[in-house]
Structure 1
Amino acid sequence: MTTAAPTPPTDTTRPVALSPSRAADFTRCPLLYRFKAVDRLTAPPTRAQARGTVVHAALEALFGLDGPARTATSAQTLLPEALARVLAATPDLGVDTDDAGFLAEAAALLDTYFTVEDPTAVTADGCELRVETTLDGDVPLRGIIDRLDVDATGAVHVVDYKTGRAPSPRGERAALFQLKFYALIVWRQRGIVPASLRLLYLGDGQVLHYRPDPEELRRFERIVRAMWATIRQLRASGDFRPNPGPGCRWCDHRALCPAFGGTPPPYPADGVATQSTPGAPHRIEQQENPE
């Protein structure tokens, strides 16, 4: 099985591409997309984000064990080690290895995981997999899949962990957008439409299922193409405008937003900042389900 260390801060030399997070940002607010993808602004992680990162790391380590060894006891044993690894990669996490309350919160999420899935029965092909593809040479897509499973029939299943609670029907649309994005990348990269995609919500033990079909993914691909064409035009002009709404309450960059009296940074001449502001790795980039 393929595994990876906790994702380091954004590599500024990588070509620009569209990820589920950036696509969701653009859908919510074009200016937010600019702040993150062009200006490359970051923010210190919240406690919830830090907790989610550590739980993801513990689950990744759990699937590094042989199937029968993937027990609840093993998961709890792996938790302090996961915290230490994440802290080594992200010193500004805001917690430390002696934070008993933080570890207890993460341990509770791991316990909930075992109520929604039996990891001893899972055949994981990889964890924390970086997946990339380019649609017909002009629409670059990128993502990180928490876990990719392959069953006895050869069918592929995508699994994504969420350490928050399941969303309301309104928030469910955003969750399905992320799953469709992963399905499209896997399909175009491997030539296989995933048999299923699942979001495991460890905050309340709920599971969201999605079964894609080729025709639906073709329609979604057209949406992604249109989004990327618009983004390319805006990156050239710099005319990213705010879209005020309820989500502004959770925006880390509200102070820079003209809708709230702020002033964005000067727009980079080439449409991309020369380097990122030091900050959190991928997993703790944004809050889950901020409704």
Structure 2
Amino acid sequence: MTDLSQADRLVASVGRHIEKIWDWDAFPASRGYPELARAQMRYIGSGGSPKTGDETTLVPKHFTTSLLYQDPDRYAAVHTHEIEEIFLIHSGRMVVSWDFDGEFVDIVLGPGDALVNPAERAHGFRNDGPEPIVAQFMVGHPKPMMPNYRSHPSKGDGAPEFRQPLPDPADPRVVEAHQYVVRGAQAPIHWHTLDNGSELATQPYVLPAEQGGVVPSIRFSLEFLHLPERAETLTYTFDHEVAFMVWEGQVAVEFTDGEQAASTLLGARDLVLVEAGQTFRLRNSGAGVAKLSAALGTATPAADRWTNAG
């Protein structure tokens, strides 16, 4: 870690939603095809965009993080990535289509839902409306994961059919696909009493099965943290990076090295990337429960990571 003050290190680790812009030209293959229009907001790395020169993004280690915006009646053509990709829906309703030997199975995702697209799994997605989609996209590698298109209008391929009936849940392909889905309204919530007297709830999404992960982690992990009003976590130091994005409430994040300390407030869709070896803690500074997504740069995080001060 570079020799910076804790205040400078913290400033350099935060991506603020209001200081970013939506990039409507993030995906060159969509140029000239309005039906493919979607925008990207980059936080960590560039994800599936070749725009590696964006100085407003944070440096990725084991995963990238961006937000994607898509209007109704727009779609992304069927493609693959060489690394797994996680979709986490903030708002709207996304229909993801998995390609099974030329036949497509639709997976519908709503707010708080997540889907793990394994490496080389051909998929596309669309917005059947009526609301825009905002989704958090995370790719399990620091370099750009450029899509390999299986179909595209440039090849003369047509658009998917919008507003289709839901598939038969007993179809074996549907059963297989839903093994990679996390329903936010159904994922278990575990409450922990910390040594400082605060309470903290965790909601496993993509974690090892023995830690209750709904979907087993591959290269990185994903969960939610819920902090009650005035609650404060312990002080942690991990041997992997962790990125927190605020979904609800106001969260104070503090960096410390035992001598210096610095803190800042994060609001909705603000992100902090805590590098490996950086000591930190979180505090709910607002009214009501604060909710954060936490992406961990390992497939095997310590089982007691939130209850054991590091």
Which gives a bigger RCO, structure 1 or 2 (Cα 8 Å, sep 6+)? 1
TM-score with structure 1 setting the length? 0.29
Richer in strand (by share): 2
